[in-house]
Amino acid sequence: MATNRNDEFIREVDEEYRRDQLAKIWARYNGLIIAIVVLVVIGVGGWRYWEHVQETRAQAAAVRFEEALKLSSENKPQEAEAALEALAKDGDTGYSLLARFRLAAEQGQQNAEQGAAAYDALANDAGVAPLWKDLARLRAAWLRLDTADPAQIRQVVEPMAAPGDAWRHTARELLGLSGLKAGDMDYAGRWFDQIAADRETPPALRQRLAVYTALVAGGPVQVTQ
């Protein structure tokens, strides 16, 4: 019994000491503690507000982007381009970049070189991530496939055809087509072989590959007068 009373007494003394210490700390630092609490509350509230604003902007941008696509599908290219240009100028959401890519595609349908130039601007924009820079270069090369020197296209596209590259499938197809157009069947066949050997080649590309390999097997077309 005496031991229990001693233990209880010690615990009470310990608790009283802690309360006394906390009281001294509060008396000395209450202003600082309150300020820290207020800053934390403001910080959390500010972060929540920022998230809300970003979400609202993204939703609004998504609606505007869908409206631009609808104008394009309704064969209203000028209205669609105007809507995309306005959205592209708003750099607060990812839809700005998406709008720039779509705008370049719309322009490419009207004028291949104009669309390619728009993709060039994306590829040279320091604010665009490297992955999307490569996509822009690839799209520009597609638009110039019929007009540019094959060597220039290959210089741009070949690095993207490497194993593991995100855009390798499209890059290899483009390089193979550049070989076909130049009558260089060995070059074309080399890239089509890589497409065939890649287990991750998309099914649609494999279907087109049958046509490409048949063209390679047929050899260069002889133009006669």
Dump pLDDT digits (tens) for 201-219.
999 999 999 999 999 987 7
**Parent domain of 162:** 149-218
For the chain, what is the domain count? 2
| Other Cβ atoms closer than 10 A to 65 | 20
- Which pTM value belongs to this model? 0.68
On the question of pLDDT at 124 being above 90, the answer is yes
| 185 occurs within a structural domain | yes
| 2 occurs within a structural domain | no
Q: How far is 6 from 9, CA to CA, in rounded Å?
A: 5
**37 confidence band (pLDDT: 50, 70, 90):** low
Are 90 and 127 in a shared domain? yes
| 189 occurs within a structural domain | yes
End-of-domain residue from the set 103, 121, 144: 144
End-of-domain residue from the set 117, 144, 171: 144
Give me the sign of the Cα torsion angle 216, 160, 112, 94: positive
**158 confidence band (pLDDT: 50, 70, 90):** very high
Give me the sign of the Cα torsion angle 31, 32, 36, 37: negative
Average of per-residue pLDDT across 137-146? 94
| 61 occurs within a structural domain | no
Are 158 and 134 in a shared domain? no
| 97 occurs within a structural domain | yes
Distance of CA 208 to the CA centre of its chain: 27
Are 172 and 209 in a shared domain? yes
Are 160 and 189 in a shared domain? yes
Gyration radius of the chain over CA positions: 32
Are 94 and 108 in a shared domain? yes
Are 153 and 140 in a shared domain? no
Are 138 and 79 in a shared domain? yes
